[in-house]
């Protein structure tokens, strides 16, 4: 983290020695058939070099033949659907959960890839099956071609070339130009860590802050008034004093630090749109609980956030909640010492499918 994170690429030979695919090719194709999973198919014409891209879901018959070269199937968020992939994701928790996006699996036939490009986020590329040749460049020219459906670099000049075998991993910081091409059939797992722009983050936070309404209710004297408004010959012109009033109203919301923290916590813990949980009946939780692999749980100094909702907590309850968020489980002893409020919340989350009773090892 000190030497490479958001600074420069890092190749780690045998980062996960002896790794095997956690999903077979058939299982990955089956997941790509689901409307719940986001998937893309990228095909390059081996003769003309022309690129095509389609969005899933895909039936098996809609995918090219395995004997055809130059195509890739990319399936996002596989960690939400497979325990082994979720466990692999959790090995990267030396980076804050708030930054994690998902795990994508890229399957490719020989010469398959998505062209030279760059990402706006940090990514770890773990080779799990077969070989992939990566060409890397830290070039400043990031201009894109305008003749393809993909964001392919117009002028890509590789500075380094690495052939990755199963177990090898490549870390790339944001805006590092790269191209990965399959050497024979291969699978690559990508652990992505999102980095939002100020504009994108503001678009998510502002509506939440307004909905939270943690600021004090307005008095009648705070309402917009214009007792000195003169008769006008330009009725369609917005009064400048109304513009000033609107600006001050926005500033009042933005100055609510607690509201911005709440909005951020709820935003970061919000599951993606296609994520759903299986409701469960009330159960005895005395043997301990474990978070569902789809659950996103975070906390700060004042609140705990889980799946887009927030709770204010302090004292022993806060310590227990933080343990659950950090370790993703609570032991029987922690359950026994939990307060009534905490126990009721855990039971509610259990019934919502956000966590599960821990299995007792025999």
**pLDDT digits over 96-128, tens only?**
999 999 999 999 999 999 999 999 999 999 999
Interatomic CA distance for residues 162 and 169, integer angstroms: 11
Same fold, 10-193 and 264-362: no
At residue 168, the 3 state secondary structure works out as coil
Q: What is the pLDDT averaged over residues 346-354?
A: 97
Alpha helices (H) along 56-191: 83-90
List the one residue out of 292, 288, 268 whose CA is nearest residue 279. Answer: 292
Percent of the chain with pLDDT over 90: 85
Q: What is the structure's pLDDT at 251?
A: 86
**pLDDT digits over 264-315, tens only?**
999 999 999 889 999 999 999 999 999 999 999 999 999 999 999 999 999 9
Percent of the chain with pLDDT over 70: 96
Higher-confidence position of 200 and 329 = 329
Q: What is the structure's pLDDT at 213?
A: 58
**pLDDT digits over 127-153, tens only?**
999 999 999 999 999 999 999 999 999
Q: What is the structure's pLDDT at 255?
A: 82
Residue 10 token pair: 């890092």
Q: What is the structure's pLDDT at 215?
A: 47
- Given a cut of 60, is residue 322 above it in pLDDT? yes
Task: Kindly report whether the global pTM for this prediction surpasses the value 0.85.
Answer: yes
Q: What is the structure's pLDDT at 207?
A: 85
Q: What is the pLDDT averaged over residues 69-88?
A: 97
User: 340 and 333 in contact (C-beta within 8 Å)?
Assistant: no
Q: What is the structure's pLDDT at 217?
A: 52
Rg of the chain on CA atoms, in Å: 25
Interatomic CA distance for residues 308 and 141, integer angstroms: 38
Average pLDDT, the chain: 93
End-to-end CA, the chain? 39
Q: What is the structure's pLDDT at 117?
A: 97
Paired sense of beta strands 39-44 and 51-55, if any:
antiparallel
Distance of CA 200 to the CA centre of its chain: 14
Residue 317 token pair: 């309850």
Residues with Cβ within 8 Å of 29's Cβ and at least 6 positions away in sequence, in order, are 58, 60, 63, 73
Topology, domain 10-193: Jelly Rolls (2.60.120)
Residue 135 token pair: 């060409």
Q: What is the structure's pLDDT at 168?
A: 98
Interatomic CA distance for residues 61 and 58, integer angstroms: 8
Phi, psi of 332 (to 5 degrees): -55, -40
List the one residue out of 192, 195, 196 whose CA is nearest residue 92. Answer: 192
Show the beta-strand stretches assigned E in the chain: 10-12, 39-44, 51-55, 71-75, 100-108, 122-137, 160-164, 169-172, 177-193, 289-291, 297-299, 303-306, 309-312, 329-330, 355-357
**pLDDT digits over 219-271, tens only?**
556 788 999 999 999 999 999 999 999 998 888 878 888 889 999 999 999 99
Domain spans, the chain:
10-193, 264-362
Q: What is the structure's pLDDT at 257?
A: 86
**264-362 is classed CATH 3.40.366.30:** yes
**pLDDT digits over 192-223, tens only?**
998 888 898 988 888 888 777 544 555 556 78
């Amino acid at each position: 983290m000190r030497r490479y994170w958001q600074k420069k690429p890092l190749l780690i030979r045998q980062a996960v020695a002896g790794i095997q695919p956690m999903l077979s090719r058939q299982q990955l194709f089956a997941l790509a058939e689901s409307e719940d999973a986001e998937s893309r198919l990228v095909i390059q014409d081996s003769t003309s070099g022309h690129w095509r891209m389609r969005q899933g879901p895909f039936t098996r018959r809609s995918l090219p033949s395995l004997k055809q070269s130059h195509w890739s199937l990319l399936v996002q968020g596989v960690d939400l659907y497979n325990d082994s992939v979720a466990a692999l994701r959790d090995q990267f928790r030396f980076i804050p959960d708030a930054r994690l996006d998902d795990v994508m699996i890229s399957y490719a036939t020989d010469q398959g890839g998505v062209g030279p490009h760059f990402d706006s986020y940090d990514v770890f590329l773990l080779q799990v099956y077969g070989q992939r040749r990566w060409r890397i460049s830290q070039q400043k020219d990031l201009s894109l071609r305008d003749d393809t459906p993909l964001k392919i670099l117009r002028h890509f000049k590789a500075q380094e070339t690495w052939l990755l075998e199963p177990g090898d991993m490549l870390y790339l910081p944001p805006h590092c130009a790269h191209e990965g091409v399959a050497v024979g059939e291969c699978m690559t797992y990508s652990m992505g860590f999102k980095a939002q722009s100020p504009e994108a983050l503001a678009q998510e936070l502002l509506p939440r802050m307004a909905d939270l309404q943690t600021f004090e209710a307005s008095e009648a004297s705070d309402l917009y008034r214009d007792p000195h408004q003169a008769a006008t010959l330009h009725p369609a012109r917005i009064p400048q004093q109304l513009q000033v009033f609107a600006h001050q109203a926005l500033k009042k919301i933005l100055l609510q630090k607690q509201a911005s923290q709440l909005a951020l916590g709820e935003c970061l813990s919000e599951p993606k749109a296609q994520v759903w949980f299986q409701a469960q009946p009330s159960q005895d939780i005395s043997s301990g609980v474990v978070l569902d692999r789809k659950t996103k749980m975070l906390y700060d100094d004042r609140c705990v956030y889980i799946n887009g909702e927030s709770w204010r907590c302090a004292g022993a309850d806060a310590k227990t909640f933080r343990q659950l968020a950090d370790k993703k489980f609570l032991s029987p002893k922690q359950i026994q010492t939990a307060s009534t409020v905490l126990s009721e919340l855990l039971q509610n989350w259990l019934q919502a499918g956000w966590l599960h009773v821990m299995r007792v090892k025999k």
